[in-house]
Structure 1
Amino acid sequence: MSRSEYYPSLSGDIKLRYDEKMKLTDGIDPYALRIDELSEDVSFLPAVKIVDLMNYLVLTHCFYTGQQMKAYKSLQAFKYYEAGMSNKRWQK
């Protein structure tokens, strides 16, 4: 496994977590990649749906605190609901 210049600056648990994440990428350190090793082909990107975004924003737990993010208040639909526009506006 090739390591980037960033890797030696990590310490303790952070280095262990970094090693675990590198295992998910077949040992490729993203900071060691060169520009000619990257692709601009968008077909390699995973499909992302609105449900995926909602799950991330609302159901994800914060790594540092362990608490659920509950960012539903930032979602536009929640703002409409809170403003009293639940069904009136959409029943035309």
Structure 2
Amino acid sequence: MRKGLTYGLSFVLLLAVALPVSQETAHAAPKKYKNCTELNKDYKGGVAKSAGVKNKGGKTKYKPFVSAELYKANKSKDRDRDFIACEK
């Protein structure tokens, strides 16, 4: 019984390692938004490059979502260049 379980688990593990992972699911491209209104529908506080950045534009109502990849895709929407795009 124990030997069968060991062989079964080994087979499942081998199968999981051997199956190729799709590049689409592994590295999905971050969404690029047309404007800040569209971005703020999904991320009310905007998108920050890292958790340590501070807002230069004054007091904001919401905290930004932190994602370097999403920020990079929407970098053009960071008008005050404080590493937070579309902060509210």
Give the TM-score of the pair, scaled to structure 1: 0.23
- Whose relative contact order is higher, 1 or 2, with alpha carbons under 8 Å and at least 6 apart? 2
Point out the structure with the larger helix share: 1
Using structure 2 for the length normalisation, give the TM-score: 0.24
**If each structure's strand is expressed as a fraction of its own residues, which one has the higher value?**
2
